[in-house]
Amino acid sequence: MGSAASSLQVQGSDGSLALADARASDLIKRRVSQRRQMFSVQAASYSLGALVLLVYSYAGTVSVVIPSTYFLSGLSLTGFFVVLSETGFNDRFEDHYLTIFQMGCNVALQLGFLMAAPEIGYTFLSVLFLIFGFGALRMTSQQAIAVWTLTTLGLAPIFLLTDLPIAMPVSTPAERAAAMLAFVLTIGQCAFVGLYGSSMRKMLYNRSSELKAANRRIEELAELDELTGSLNRRCIMHVLDEEVVRAHRGNTPCSVALIDLDWFKRINDTYGHPTGDEVLRAFAITVFANIRPIDKFGRYGGEEFLLLLPETSGEGAARILDRLRAIIADLDWSAFSPGMQVTISAGVATLKPNETPDIILARADSALYAAKARGRNRIASA
């Protein structure tokens, strides 16, 4: 027996580990997919930047070496981080995008080309806005301060310690066209960053809504009896405590009833446990259909149920329970099995001044015992 128990524990442990591994694998796949999208955007951005530089090369402003080197450098840098991503290196870190390192490398690349081709330096400076725009979607405040400080340390020497003629040439039609193209593409990419951020916020909102719905469902399941859909014992006892406190505070009547299905063990023995489960479900559904919204109904244990009747006197509670008793007795239980009859007995107690939940429940239990002693299929009041 101990060996069997150990085997079940091992199987349960293996199942939990397999589930955890599957979830971790799904998370890694989702992260890799997100990074691939980001790298695609980076490659496209460097391609568009190289297009602007080609126009300047056509205008004779810069050598053709600048656009070709810029394009190859950008793709090589992106490719380096792609390799890290695809080999799983990124997944070792909490920030699996390696945000600071990517931003630092891309900023350094732009500053390098700013020094190599200062005559069109504004094009490289404008890319810094895009880099920070994308980075802001994932940076923490500490990361933002760190990258901003490093960028400042890189820009300060260029502007303060050199006399590089950083410019935006527009003296020829081709240069004006290149400048226009640079601004149009930069604005377009900034708009894309905004749309991407909006889609991320929408995705987070949807996931938050799904998580809240799942949490609500978990809370409901934690409060409900799985078989009957009524409140489970822990929850109905908690509600009883609350109702007693509310009744004492408001000086209002409150009654409780312990309900028992008569001879339920015989039903299980004669018709089988699956039929017994269906009887319990049918009983619970019938009760739900015939009580008020303010009433609370829960499974106390086995075939015993607890019904809380706020703002209800003893006489009113007895009438409600006797009506339920008659409805249950008149149901066509033969639908479950020919010749089947189901009845209930109940003990009703009404809250007295300064009475505790345990005492009123004990009185209801005594009344239920009296109803059974008198022949069952009846209601007894404490």
Assess contact for 182 and 190: CB atoms under 8 A: no
Measured CA to CA, the distance from residue 188 to residue 264 in angstroms comes to: 74
Assess contact for 331 and 278: CB atoms under 8 A: no
Q: Does residue 333 lie within any of the structural domains?
A: yes
SS3 171: coil
Which among 190, 218, 246 is the end of a domain?
A: 218
DSSP one-letter string for 120-157:
GHHHHHHHHHHHHHHHHTT--HHHHHHHHHHHHHHHHH
What was the pLDDT predicted at 21? Answer: 67
What was the pLDDT predicted at 34? Answer: 83
Q: Does residue 140 lie within any of the structural domains?
A: yes
Are 121 and 238 within one domain?
no
Q: Which residue has the higher pLDDT, 21 or 290?
A: 290
Q: Which of 129-143, 166-180, 187-201, 265-279 has the lowest mean pLDDT?
A: 187-201
Are 158 and 63 within one domain?
yes
Are 168 and 314 within one domain?
no
What was the pLDDT predicted at 17? Answer: 58
Range of the domain at 45: 2-218
Is residue 258 scored above 70 in pLDDT?
Answer: yes
pLDDT category, 156, cuts 50, 70, 90?
very high
Domain with residue 291: its CATH number is 3.30.70.270
Q: Does residue 227 lie within any of the structural domains?
A: no
What was the pLDDT predicted at 5? Answer: 42
Is residue 15 scored above 60 in pLDDT?
Answer: no
Measured CA to CA, the distance from residue 279 to residue 334 in angstroms comes to: 11
- Percent residues over pLDDT 70 in the chain: 92
Q: How far is the CA of 102 from the CAs of 63, 97, 132, 138, 156, in angstroms?
A: 28, 8, 11, 12, 21
**Nearest to 346, CA basis, from 274, 256, 273, 272:** 256
What was the pLDDT predicted at 8? Answer: 37
Please give the average per-residue pLDDT across 234-252, as a whole number.
94
If one counts the domains in the chain, the total is 2
Are 13 and 83 within one domain?
yes
- Six-digit token string for 172: 């020829």
Are 238 and 156 within one domain?
no
Please give the average per-residue pLDDT across 257-263, as a whole number.
95
Q: What is the pLDDT of residues 290-348, one digit of tens each?
A: 999 999 999 999 999 999 999 999 999 999 999 999 999 999 998 888 889 999 999 99
Measured CA to CA, the distance from residue 18 to residue 193 in angstroms comes to: 38
Which among 183, 218, 253 is the end of a domain?
A: 218
Instruction: Tell me what the pLDDT averaged over the chain comes to.
Output: 88
Q: Does residue 98 lie within any of the structural domains?
A: yes
Q: How far is the CA of 319 from the CAs of 291, 309, 315, 328, 369, in angstroms?
A: 12, 12, 6, 14, 19
pLDDT category, 260, cuts 50, 70, 90?
very high
Is residue 23 scored above 80 in pLDDT?
Answer: no
Is residue 352 scored above 90 in pLDDT?
Answer: yes
Q: What is the pLDDT of residues 55-104, one digit of tens each?
A: 999 999 999 999 999 999 999 999 999 999 999 898 888 888 888 899 99
Are 70 and 160 within one domain?
yes
Are 41 and 180 within one domain?
yes
Q: What is the pLDDT of residues 113-145, one digit of tens each?
A: 999 999 999 999 999 988 888 888 788 888 889
- Six-digit token string for 98: 């390696």
Burial classification of residue 62, based on how many CB atoms lie within 10 Å of its CB (0-12 exposed, 13-18 middle, 19 or more buried): buried
Are 85 and 58 within one domain?
yes
pLDDT category, 231, cuts 50, 70, 90?
very high
pLDDT category, 18, cuts 50, 70, 90?
low
Are 66 and 200 within one domain?
yes
Measured CA to CA, the distance from residue 291 to residue 314 in angstroms comes to: 16
Are 376 and 315 within one domain?
yes
What was the pLDDT predicted at 190? Answer: 82
Q: Does residue 226 lie within any of the structural domains?
A: no
Please give the average per-residue pLDDT across 200-216, as a whole number.
79
Assess contact for 298 and 232: CB atoms under 8 A: yes
Q: Does residue 259 lie within any of the structural domains?
A: yes
Q: Does residue 224 lie within any of the structural domains?
A: no
pLDDT category, 223, cuts 50, 70, 90?
confident
Q: Which of 22-36, 142-156, 240-254, 337-351 has the lowest mean pLDDT?
A: 22-36
Are 94 and 27 within one domain?
yes
Which among 187, 218, 249 is the end of a domain?
A: 218
What was the pLDDT predicted at 248? Answer: 94
pTM of the model: 0.55
Reported as type and span, the H/E element at residue 260 is strand 254-261
Are 150 and 270 within one domain?
no
Q: Does residue 156 lie within any of the structural domains?
A: yes
